[in-house]
Structure 1
Amino acid sequence: MEQRFKVVVEYLRRLIEDGLRDRFVRQKAIEIIHRAGVKQHDELGEITAITKWVQNNVHYVKDPWAVEYFMTARRILKDVDAGQSGADCDDFVIVWASLLGALGYQTGAIIVDSNKDGVFNHVMGCVKTMGPTKKYGNKWIVAELIFPNFKLNQSVPISRVYPLIADASTSRTPIHHQNIAGGINSLSGGPSGSLGTGYKHPYSRVLGFIQDKR
Structure 2
Amino acid sequence: MDEGQVLHIKYNPNVPIQKRFESIVRIIVDMVEDGMRDQVVRQKAISIVNAANVRGHDELGEIRAITKWVQTHMVYRKEPIGVEYFHTARRLLKDIDNGSSAGDCDDFVILGGALLGSLGYPVGALIVDSSGDGVFNHVMLVTKTFSETREFKNNWIPVELIYPEFELGQSVPISRVYPLMAEAKTIRAPVTRNTISGLGSVEVAKSLKPRVRTKSNFGEMLAKHPLVRLFRGE
TM bin, normalised by shorter chain, reads 0.7 to 0.9
2:143 to 118, 127, 132: 127
Task: Give 1:160-199 correspondences, 5 Å limit.
Answer: 160-167=176-183, 170-174=212-216, 176-178=218-220, 180=222, 185-187=223-225, 193-194=228-229
Look up the SS of the partner of 1:97 in the other structure: helix
- CA displacement at 1:173 relative to structure 2: 4.8
The alpha-carbon distance between structure 1 residues 203 and 74, as it changes in their structure 2 partners (threshold 3 A), is: farther
One-letter amino acid of the structure 2 residue matched with residue 186 of structure 1: K
TM-score, scaled to structure 1: 0.84
Native 8 Å contact 1:13 1:165 kept in 2? yes
Q: Deviations over 1:27-58 (max 9, x none)?
A: 00000001111011100000000000000000
1:158 to 171, 174, 177: 174
1: CA distance between counterparts of 2:215 and 2:137?
Answer: 29
Task: Give 1:1-214 correspondences, 5 Å limit.
Answer: 1=16, 2-167=18-183, 170-174=212-216, 176-178=218-220, 180=222, 185-187=223-225, 193-194=228-229, 200-202=230-232
One-letter amino acid of the structure 2 residue matched with residue 26 of structure 1: R
1: CA distance between counterparts of 2:129 and 2:150?
Answer: 30
Native 8 Å contact 1:125 1:143 kept in 2? yes
CA RMSD of aligned residues (A): 2.0
Look up the SS of the partner of 1:162 in the other structure: strand
One-letter amino acid of the structure 2 residue matched with residue 74 of structure 1: R
User: What stretches of structure 2 of length at least 5 have no aligned partner?
Assistant: 1-15, 187-211
Give the length in aligned residue pairs: 192
Look up the SS of the partner of 1:69 in the other structure: strand
Native 8 Å contact 1:15 1:175 kept in 2? no
The alpha-carbon distance between structure 1 residues 178 and 203, as it changes in their structure 2 partners (threshold 3 A), is: farther
Percent identity of paired positions between Structure 1 and Structure 2: 52
Look up the SS of the partner of 1:142 in the other structure: strand
2: CA distance between counterparts of 1:22 and 1:203?
Answer: 32
2: CA distance between counterparts of 1:124 and 1:90?
Answer: 8
TM-score, scaled to structure 2: 0.77
Look up the SS of the partner of 1:178 in the other structure: helix
Q: Deviations over 1:139-171 (max 9, x none)?
A: 001011100000011111111111111017733
